[in-house]
């Protein structure tokens, strides 16, 4: 049984902040205290460092197929990128492949995920809302997949009737719905209009997905959650008005959670005015918004309305994948790389805006674990929890560049962004996988995480204005 002692760090959880030592035995946290006097196989000095629970990125996409048959970056590179950035658990969205059952799709996905350098679990994107899929849900739940993504927009959108049917079943099974909330029909109408007028550049991606198309869909998703009782995460909220709807729904006792992403907090719609095809780098759905929305979302981050911050990582390359839509913005793969920098970006900008350290931990680790059935195995620093820990140097500085990043993409939306604070050491179940900012782990060491049903729902409701 291997033992490790981490000495004299500032331990930060979602509820506490204190100076102390952590004893790890056999990959789990065995004890926490001051000046622990024990003989261990290994000792790590954490003086001057914060010790956070490992980051949990609850929204990522690995190996996404593109229209030309190519696929985005996968576990071989981007699970390492996650680790270096302070993330020890990822929840990947398995795509139900055309003509395949859910179970077959998961089996395919699992083969690739076995390479992961960090622990991982799956959500499942339902693309065929038929009886066969419906009847399979129970089987997937038994395999530990307890959340499903339903689209209200794009070519895999469900009708309200289908959403109602599936969400009612999730409620019974103790699962969660993650909803991509945008109004399909409005977007299609606008896309058609712009393309007919000859407006095909990337900026029309954003123009065809205006704020009301998200707000309307969030409202409908909340209504469906209210009617079915299905615990529902509104994924990647990009508008203040959408977030307000979520906040009001929570106050009314509807089991709703709100997710946002670093790009909606840090990047604005002026990225769609870049020269040539450059704007394609920022083609995501929903699109980037104006500065007022950024400010509103930050207020929600600070006051508790936003429950989790995920990267919505898509490892597309600019020179390959993003060129697909050169003649038609509708063909640009949606999404951007972000798995590596979520933790560091939210720490840096959060501190600038007065975010409490415990609230930071809640957003990037504890709440994702609670919402998605991983708590307290993951998401906290407590006896019995997995020893997934990030030793973070608040004094170090780093500059984000595509050249120096581990993630495979040939660009980053945050090129040349300077950050205060940097990940120094990362432990995955007690094993160092990052040392002085460099990956020292191994591919294939990540465990598949079977997740719980009927997981904790967050009760916190804030009445503060956003």
Which residues make up the interface to Zn ion (CB under 5 A)? 312
Question: In the complex, what is the shortest distance from the CB of residue 59 to Zn ion, in angstroms, rounded to a whole number?
Answer: 6
Q: Where are the alpha helices (DSSP H) in 197-322?
A: 203-207, 211-228, 240-251, 262-266, 291-303
* Residue number, nearest CB to Zn ion: 312
Residue number with CB closer to Zn ion (10 or 123) = 123
Residue number with CB closer to Zn ion (151 or 194) = 151
Question: In the complex, what is the shortest distance from the CB of residue 50 to Zn ion, in angstroms, rounded to a whole number?
Answer: 29
Question: In the complex, what is the shortest distance from the CB of residue 91 to Zn ion, in angstroms, rounded to a whole number?
Answer: 11
Residue number with CB closer to Zn ion (62 or 137) = 62
Question: In the complex, what is the shortest distance from the CB of residue 17 to Zn ion, in angstroms, rounded to a whole number?
Answer: 32
Question: In the complex, what is the shortest distance from the CB of residue 299 to Zn ion, in angstroms, rounded to a whole number?
Answer: 24
3-class secondary structure for 182-210? CCHHHHHHHHHHHHHCCCCCCHHHHHCCC
Cα separation, 318 vs 323, in Å, equals: 7
Question: In the complex, what is the shortest distance from the CB of residue 19 to Zn ion, in angstroms, rounded to a whole number?
Answer: 38
Residue number with CB closer to Zn ion (312 or 340) = 312
Backbone angles phi, psi at 225, to 5 degrees: -65, -40
Q: Which residues contact 107 (CB under 8 A, 6 or more apart)?
A: none
Backbone angles phi, psi at 106, to 5 degrees: -65, -40
Residue number with CB closer to Zn ion (310 or 398) = 310
Task: Please check whether residue 341 is in contact with residue 414, taking contact to mean a CB–CB distance below 8 angstroms.
Answer: yes
Residue number with CB closer to Zn ion (398 or 409) = 409
Residue number with CB closer to Zn ion (92 or 312) = 312
Look up residue 317 and give its two tokens. 């390359």
Residue pointed to by tokens 């969400």: 167
Question: In the complex, what is the shortest distance from the CB of residue 394 to Zn ion, in angstroms, rounded to a whole number?
Answer: 30
Question: In the complex, what is the shortest distance from the CB of residue 425 to Zn ion, in angstroms, rounded to a whole number?
Answer: 29
Residue number with CB closer to Zn ion (231 or 338) = 338
Cα separation, 74 vs 61, in Å, equals: 8
- HSE, side-chain direction, 13 A CA sphere, residue 295: 4
Q: What burial letters (b/e) apply to 163-182, b meaning 16+ CB within 10 Å?
A: bbebbebbbebebbbbbbbb
Question: In the complex, what is the shortest distance from the CB of residue 236 to Zn ion, in angstroms, rounded to a whole number?
Answer: 6
Question: In the complex, what is the shortest distance from the CB of residue 162 to Zn ion, in angstroms, rounded to a whole number?
Answer: 19
The H or E element containing residue 339 is none
Residue number with CB closer to Zn ion (64 or 222) = 64
Task: Please check whether residue 347 is in contact with residue 287, taking contact to mean a CB–CB distance below 8 angstroms.
Answer: no
Beta-ladder partners of 25: 3, 28
CA dist 267 → 58, 262, 329 (Å): 20, 8, 20
Cα separation, 223 vs 246, in Å, equals: 11
Question: In the complex, what is the shortest distance from the CB of residue 122 to Zn ion, in angstroms, rounded to a whole number?
Answer: 13
Residue number with CB closer to Zn ion (311 or 367) = 311
Cα separation, 338 vs 84, in Å, equals: 12
Beta-ladder partners of 196: none
Cα separation, 342 vs 338, in Å, equals: 6
Q: What burial letters (b/e) apply to 333-351, b meaning 16+ CB within 10 Å?
A: bbbbbbbbbbbbbbbbbbb
Residue number with CB closer to Zn ion (59 or 378) = 59
Cα separation, 282 vs 69, in Å, equals: 22
């Amino acid at each position: 049984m291997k033992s490790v002692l981490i000495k004299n760090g500032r331990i930060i959880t979602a509820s506490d902040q204190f100076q102390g030592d952590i004893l790890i035995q056999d990959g789990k946290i065995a004890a926490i205290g001051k000046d622990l006097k024990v003989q261990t196989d290994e000792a790590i000095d954490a003086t001057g460092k914060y010790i956070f629970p490992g980051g949990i990125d609850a929204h990522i996409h690995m190996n996404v197929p593109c229209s030309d048959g190519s696929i985005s970056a996968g576990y071989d590179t981007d699970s390492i990128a996650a680790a270096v950035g302070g993330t020890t658990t990822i929840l990947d969205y398995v795509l139900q492949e055309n003509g395949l059952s859910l179970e077959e799709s998961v089996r395919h996905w699992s083969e690739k995920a076995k390479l992961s350098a960090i622990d991982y679990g799956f959500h499942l994107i339902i693309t065929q809302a038929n009886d066969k899929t419906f009847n399979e849900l129970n089987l997937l739940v038994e395999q530990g997949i307890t959340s499903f993504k339903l689209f209200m927009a794009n070519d895999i959108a469900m009708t309200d009737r289908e959403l109602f049917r599936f969400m009612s079943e999730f409620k019974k099974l103790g699962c969660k719905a993650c909803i991509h909330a945008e109004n399909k029909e409005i977007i299609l109408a606008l896309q058609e209009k712009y393309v007919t007028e000859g407006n095909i550049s990337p900026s029309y991606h954003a123009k065809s997905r205006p704020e009301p198309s998200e707000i309307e869909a969030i409202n409908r998703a909340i209504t469906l959650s209210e009617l079915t009782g299905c615990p529902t995460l509104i994924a990647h909220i990009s508008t203040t008005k959408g977030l307000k709807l979520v906040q009001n729904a929570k106050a009314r006792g509807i089991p709703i959670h709100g997710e946002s992403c670093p790009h909606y907090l840090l990047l604005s719609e002026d990225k769609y005015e870049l020269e040539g095809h450059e704007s394609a780098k920022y083609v995501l759905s929903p699109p980037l918004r104006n500065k007022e929305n950024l400010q509103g979302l930050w207020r929600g981050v600070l006051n508790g309305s936003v429950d989790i911050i995920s990267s919505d990582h898509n490892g597309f390359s600019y020179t390959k994948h993003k060129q697909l839509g050169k003649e038609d913005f509708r063909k640009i793969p949606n999404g951007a790389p972000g798995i590596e920098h979520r933790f560091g970006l939210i720490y840096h900008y959060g501190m600038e805006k007065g975010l409490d350290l415990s609230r930071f931990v809640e957003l990037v680790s504890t709440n994702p674990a609670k919402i998605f059935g991983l708590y307290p195995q993951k998401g906290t620093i407590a006896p019995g929890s997995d020893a997934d820990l990030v030793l973070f140097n608040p004094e170090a500085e780093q500059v984000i560049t595509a050249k120096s990043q581990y993630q495979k993409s040939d660009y980053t939306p945050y090129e040349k962004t300077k950050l205060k604070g940097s990940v120094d050491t990362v432990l995955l179940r007690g094993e160092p996988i990052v040392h002085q900012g460099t990956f020292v782990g191994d591919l294939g060491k990540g465990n598949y995480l079977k997740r719980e049903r009927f997981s904790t729902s967050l009760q916190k409701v804030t009445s503060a204005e956003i």
